Homo-oligomer: A and B are copies of this chain.
Amino acid sequence: MTMASPTTRQSVFSKLVDTGAHQKLLAFASLIILLIGFSIASPNFMQTSNMIAILQATSVNGVLAVAATLVIITGGIDLSVGTMMTFCAVIAGVVLTNLGLPLPVGVFAAIAAGAFCGLCSGTFVAKMKIPPFIATLGMMLILKGLSLVISGTRPIYFNDTPGFDAISLGSVIGDVFPALPIPNGVLILFLVAGGTAWILNRTVLGRYCFALGSNEEAVRLSGVNTDRWKIAIYALAGSIVGIGGLVIASRLNSAQPALGLGYELEAIAAVVIGGTSLSGGRGTIVGTLIGALIMAVLTNGLRILSVAQEWQTVVTGTIIILAVYADMVRRRKTA
């Protein structure tokens, strides 16, 4: 048992590695730095109301990023999260407004729609062996079109569904502690993130998620039905996107069929900034959340400083690169 000492040391370290904790820490660092920087730069930045605004701005992209994380950990990529979100919102609109069915049905429909889309992408990838990039690019275009078709290129409003806007604008927390009126949208984000993190780290599905990303062939040779699991993961991601669709729809109290293009890159960026590797096998939800927050803080802060729009993009680009670079440096140190 003389091995004990080095072994345990290593295993502690390795545990850190695969929960990606050091990445979290570091991503955290850049987040803190940003927050401090903006607080100094503008007195208006560090207010409860604005912090809540930032959280709310994170909610949609955050949910999409969580979904994207699942797919990316399997070594895939999902370009369809943006338009899929819109599609689910439109479905909810059709069910609730056009068909006038009760709220729960609409919620279910949106999530089911997402799951179904995920199922399709998953099948394309797993069964038809289409590269995830193409499969989800195709889905992105298809869903973009379908949203317009189904909605008749008109926004669908939820005026006749009382309580729909409460999904993301109401504040269960606020009702309990009036001091911090955190909107439900944010709550939903954290619930979704928590649930997904649990699935990733505690369930078989999560285990295969990592295993597939790490060495799919090895998993297959171990006699696992890799296709089925992969499809399941894409479907799960899809249903999460469905939730995202509900959050944005309820926030805008309408399904905007033209929305969603470009959201996919933002989501993926959040994931990668959060330290998840695009080559698959490693990643964390916490990291993704922080990644999404970094992006939201950045946009919000620059707007509050009334930085000219064209410069906002320049700064955003630079900081994204720097944040990830810091992460790399740190990683090389620890590894």
Select A272's contact among B133, B277, B315, B320, beta carbons within 8 Å. Answer: B133
Q: A138-B320, A138-B321, A265-B79 are in contact. Are A131 and B272 (CB under 8 A)?
A: yes
Q: A129-B332, A277-B131, A278-B133 are in contact. Are A144 and B325 (CB under 8 A)?
A: no
Assembly CA distance A332 to B130 (angstroms): 12
Segment at the interface with B among A37-45, A145-153, A183-191: A145-153
- Indicate whether A12 reaches chain B with its CB closer than 8 angstroms: no
Tell me if A's interface is mostly helix, strand, loop or mixed: helix
Per the CB 8 Å criterion, the residue count for chain A at the interface is 47
Contacts of A332 in B (CB 8 A): 129
19 A-B pairs besides A131-B324, A141-B320, A144-B317 with CB distance below 8 A are A128-B328, A129-B328, A130-B321, A130-B324, A131-B272, A133-B272, A137-B317, A137-B320, A138-B318, A138-B320, A138-B321, A139-B317, A142-B313, A145-B315, A148-B309, A148-B310, A149-B311, A149-B314, A261-B262
Residues of A within 8 A of B (CB): 79, 124, 128-131, 133-135, 137-146, 148-149, 153, 261-262, 265, 268-269, 272-273, 277-278, 309-318, 320-321, 324-325, 328, 332
